[in-house]
Structure 1
Amino acid sequence: MARAPFTPDPLPLSNEQIDPLFFLKELIEAHKKIAQYQVLLQNTKLPSHLLLNPVMLNEAVQSTKIEGTQVTLDEVLEVETHSRKNNKDVQEVLNYYHALRESMDRLSILPISTRLFKSMHLTLMSNGVRGSNRSPGEYRKIQNFIGPEGCTMETATFIPPQPQSVDNYMNNLEIYINDPQDKLDELIRIAIVHAQFETIHPFLDGNGRIGRILIPLYLFNKKVIDYPNFFLSEALERDKHKYYRYLNDTRYKGDWNQWIQFFLEAIIHQADKNIKLINDVNELYDRDLDLAQSLINSSGIKKLVDAIFQKPIFTVPTISLSSELSEATCRRYLSTLEANRIVFSDGKQRFKTYYYYSLLDKLR
């Protein structure tokens, strides 16, 4: 394998590099599954924005797991509700979550662009996490390389483009995202965009995570999905060695068809999981809301149940804030819910933490 920095093909790719018939079956299935997921989201019994918080946190956990950070969703939710001390691993996950949320908000005023990428990266590398001293919010000025821990440039599996060419390649990618000048389907384009971003590797650290945030942002921006909440990190983490191999094959073998097919299969797998999650959560919401309302005859109980679905690990102060109920009312309701095994607590007399395991089991 050549030791020189890689020189990517500019986008758009030529017609000879892609054979749509190679992955036509997967493309049709991926669109069908995404459409099914969208319809379910639009008609969910639980207000879909309530589920977004834990789903996005789980995405942050899965995406940082690919980079080797071992943190559970429970640990992150405990830190978020102030019942566990923070650490750098959890902070990496929270930084990803904040970068994701901020980029969603900024998309209403900014195109997908260098400015957005750098803003996301600055947030991702904040608060003293690993890589926070490696030019946060700036494209790299030195050569980097990718490979197993402890590898050198000679033993690396991939050497990205020279630093002085990063701006040109990112400018080409930005133009392709916003004005592609080809006739490809948007699901094929995002497979190409993600691969090209990872190939350019414009930052010294955090490229994988920024590239994975880019996936739902792109699909939302192109109106493939109604909200930027379709995340692929879990599906990519499941087959991460295949993920890395097929990415490298686009570079050194020019095999874009195999990569696009794999990417579409990841979309199908994740859509199936999302569809099952929405159906399961709808059933759970109906069941536990009915049970809670049979136990507590008050209009406020629905506010509490809705808040618990947004924050399945919580304390009285955090759930009071989310539900807009007084802490005294929350304590009274929670006492009844805990007595009936709907929620569980750690049993502490002060600063008690509650767990809604029925939802956590479906998210994990």
Structure 2
Amino acid sequence: MKKTPFIPDRLPLQSDQLNQLFFLKELIEANKKIAQYQVLLQNTKLPSHLLLNPVMLNEAVQSTKIEGTQVTLDEVLEVETKSRKNNKDVQEVVNYYQALREGMDKLALLPISTRLFKAMHLTLMSNEVRGSNRSPGEYRKIQNFIGPEGCTLETATFVPPQPQMVDNHMNNLEIYINDPQDELDELVRIAVIHAQFETIHPFLDGNGRIGRILIPLYLFNKKVIDFPNFFLSEALERDKHKYYRFLNDTRYKGDWNQWVQFFLQAMIHQADKNIRLIHDVNQLYEHDLELSQSLINSSGVKKLVDAMYQKPIFTVHTISAIADIPEGTCRRYLTALESSRIVFSDGKPRSKTYYYYNLLDKLR
């Protein structure tokens, strides 16, 4: 039987659609954990901006993995440093990373809005990746449907709203994001907003990725976090079948409580992981910086170690530019670090690629 396009609830939700007692424990815990993570970032020994590049790239890897790409963080970093050839899976990750950076930058000028969504989507679908021929940067004008590969409209698990209704539904979502008119906690709101975006499915492709970028942008915009660096894709990828099922249950069963509880649990899991990462990286930074300074009697060694946190896979050329150290000096420093097993190289006589595995092991 042919399924009919879904008509989403209007936002804000009615008061009887959410029972906050159902997920109150998770809401309190999620807020506590995110606040703890923010305090740790503010007081970290390692300048927190140094970790942003690899952490954002890892988010890009995890988010595109949900969509079926098969690529690792190491592979993306190798392409970035030009020691590996690019391919379409890596390009999808790079596009996601660039769309995320673009969203962060444009928030200074734009509200979270259709203009922002379309700009990020255009970037996400650039460079001839899968879906690049499916109206990049524009809301869909045809009916789409969601389900297993090869499914039809009849066998789809979900049929989003009619294309002529997309602008209307997205306008309602945009108004809710910027002027919600309810008493919900911001963490509950972003759970509702993410689900609503995925339900409207405004683009022909890339909706999941744009919807996941929206999470840290919203939390940053509402000052829940100090920088848009709280990413949920890894936690959602871990339970992706639950993720899809509970999203569908908001649509066909009206079960928002189950969805919000799941979303908050994912936040708690990710915050716990982030907190452990900051603790571990702090210890690593302190240890490896002290060891490096004992090997190399120069103030420049700190600049080199700091640069390695931004690019844990690198060549002399790339790392010397970031650290602002001459290449010859950089090469001497790296020889000393490699002899003490702080970094490892691929052993090539020319254009070596170096790996800072101590950090990569904690990021993966």
- The TM-score bracket by the shorter chain reads over 0.9
Query: C-alpha distance in 2, partners of 1:335/1:259?
Result: 52
Percent identity (aligned):
84
Tell me the residue number matched to 1:142.
142
Instruction: Provide Cα deviations, 1:322-347, integer angstroms capped at 9, x if missing partner.
Output: 10101011100000000000000000
Tell me the residue number matched to 1:273.
273
Query: C-alpha distance in 2, partners of 1:44/1:277?
Result: 11
Question: When the two structures are superposed, what TM-score results if normalisation uses the length of structure 2?
Answer: 0.99
Which amino acid in the other structure matches residue 223 of structure 1? K
Instruction: Provide Cα deviations, 1:276-308, integer angstroms capped at 9, x if missing partner.
Output: 000000000000000000000000000000000
Secondary structure of residue in 2 paired with 1:109: coil
Instruction: Provide Cα deviations, 1:222-279, integer angstroms capped at 9, x if missing partner.
Output: 0000000000000000000000000000000000000000000000000000000000
Aligned pairs for 1:199-218 (under 5 A) are: 199-218=199-218
Secondary structure of residue in 2 paired with 1:264: helix
Query: C-alpha distance in 2, partners of 1:81/1:49?
Result: 20
Instruction: Provide Cα deviations, 1:197-224, integer angstroms capped at 9, x if missing partner.
Output: 0000000000000000000000000000
1:50 aligns with 2:50: yes
Tell me the residue number matched to 1:305.
305
What displacement does 1:351 show?
A: 1.1
Instruction: Provide Cα deviations, 1:108-144, integer angstroms capped at 9, x if missing partner.
Output: 1100000000000000000000000000000000000
For structure 1, the 5+ residue unaligned runs are none
Query: C-alpha distance in 2, partners of 1:346/1:306?
Result: 21
Query: C-alpha distance in 1, partners of 2:160/2:62?
Result: 25
Query: C-alpha distance in 2, partners of 1:105/1:324?
Result: 25
What displacement does 1:81 show?
A: 0.6
1:257 aligns with 2:257: yes
Which amino acid in the other structure matches residue 316 of structure 1? V
Secondary structure of residue in 1 paired with 2:261: helix
Aligned pairs for 1:1-364 (under 5 A) are: 3-364=3-364
Query: C-alpha distance in 2, partners of 1:49/1:2?
Result: 51
Secondary structure of residue in 1 paired with 2:13: coil
Q: Which runs of 4+ in 1 moved over 4 A?
A: none
For structure 2, the 5+ residue unaligned runs are none
Query: C-alpha distance in 1, partners of 2:212/2:350?
Result: 40
Check conservation: 2:288, 2:342, Cα contact below 8 A: yes
Query: C-alpha distance in 1, partners of 2:87/2:58?
Result: 17
Instruction: Provide Cα deviations, 1:77-125, integer angstroms capped at 9, x if missing partner.
Output: 0000111110110000000000000110100110000000000000000
What displacement does 1:2 show?
A: 7.1
Check conservation: 2:2, 2:154, Cα contact below 8 A: no
Secondary structure of residue in 2 paired with 1:181: coil
What is the Cα-based RMSD across aligned positions, in Å? 0.7
Question: When the two structures are superposed, what TM-score results if normalisation uses the length of structure 1?
Answer: 0.99
Which amino acid in the other structure matches residue 8 of structure 2? P
What displacement does 1:350 show?
A: 1.1
Query: C-alpha distance in 2, partners of 1:324/1:43?
Result: 26
